[in-house]
Chain A
Amino acid sequence: MHDFSTVGKRVPKLDAADKATGRSRYIQDLKLPGMLYGKILYSKYAHARIVNIDVSQARALPGVRAVLTAEDIPDIKMGVYKDNRPLKKGKVRSYRDEVAAVAAVDPETARKALRLIDVVYDPLPAVFDPETAMREGAPLVHEAHKTNVLRMPWKLHYGDVEAARREAAFVVSERFTTTWVTHCCMGTSGAIAEFDPGNNLTIHSNTQIPSLAQKDFLEALAAMGLANRRVRVIKPCIGGGFGSKLDTYAYEYIAILLAYHTRRPVKIEFDRTEEFIATSTRQPTLTTISQGCDQDGKLLFRDVKMILDNGAYTSWGATTPSVMMMPITTLYRVPNVRYEASCVYTNNTYSQAMRGYGNPQATFAIESTIDMLAEAAGIEPLEFRRINANQPGDVSTQGLRITTCGLSECMDAVKAKLGWDQPRSSGEGVGVASLIHVGGGARVYKSDGCGAILKMDDFGKVDIFTGATDMGQGSDTVIAQIVAEELGLNIEDIHVIHSDTDICPWDVGAHASRTTFVAGNAALGAARKIKSRILEMAAKELYAPLEKLVLGNRHIQHAEEPDRKVEIGKLLRKAHFSHGGQMLMAESFYDPANENMGKDFRGNMSMTYTFGAHGVRVKVDEETGKVKVLNYVAVHDVGRAINPMLLEGQVYGGVMMGLGYALSEQVILERGETMNPNFRDYKILTAKDVVPIEAPVLETPDKDGPYGAKGIGEPGCVPTAPAVANAIYNAVGVRIRELPITPERVLAALRAKKGLDLCGIQKGAESAAACVIEE
Chain B
Amino acid sequence: MARDISFVFNGNNMTARVEDHWTLLYFIREELGYTGTKEGCGSGECGACTVIVDGAAVNSCIYLAAELDGRSLLTIEGLAAADGSLHPLQKAFVERGGIQCGFCSPGMILSAKALLDENPAASEEDIRAAIAGNLCRCTGYIQIIDSIKSVCGDAPEGPRVVAWRDEES
Contact = CB atoms under 8 A, between A and B. Distances in A.
A165 B29 CA distance: 65
B135 A684 contact: yes
Interface string A1-38: 11000000010110111111111111011000000000
Contacts of B86: 17, 20-21
Interface of B is mostly: loop
Given A678-B41, A687-B128, A701-B167, A22 B34 contact: yes
Nearest to A651: B140
B101 A187 contact: yes
B100 A693 contact: no
Interface residues of A, number: 73
A349 B113 CA distance: 40
A743 interface: no
Interface string A135-174: 0000000000000000000000000000000000000000
A159 B136 CA distance: 46
Given A26-B103, A649-B139, A680-B45, A688 B129 contact: yes
A653 B100 CA distance: 10
B132 A648 contact: no
Nearest to B80: A21
Interface stretch (A281-289, A358-366, A468-476): A468-476
Contacts of A370: none
B159 A644 contact: yes
A20 B93 contact: yes
Interface of A is mostly: loop
B55 interface: no
Contacts of B95: 12
A657 B140 contact: yes
Interface in B99-135: 99-106, 109, 127-129, 131-135
Contacts of B105: 19-20
Contacts of B131: 687
A271 B113 CA distance: 28
Interface residues of B, number: 63
Given A239-B101, A657-B137, A678-B45, A695 B94 contact: no
Nearest to A638: B163
Contacts of A25: 35
Nearest to B168: A701
A123 interface: no
B94 A678 contact: no
B95 to A, nearest CB: 5
Given A22-B35, A188-B40, A690-B145, A240 B165 contact: no
A589 interface: no
A442 B169 CA distance: 29
16 contacts: A17-B86, A21-B86, A187-B38, A187-B40, A187-B101, A404-B167, A644-B159, A645-B96, A648-B97, A649-B140, A652-B140, A653-B140, A657-B140, A680-B45, A693-B142, A696-B162
Interface of B: 34-43, 45-46, 48, 75-77, 79-80, 86, 90, 93-97, 99-106, 109, 127-129, 131-145, 159-169
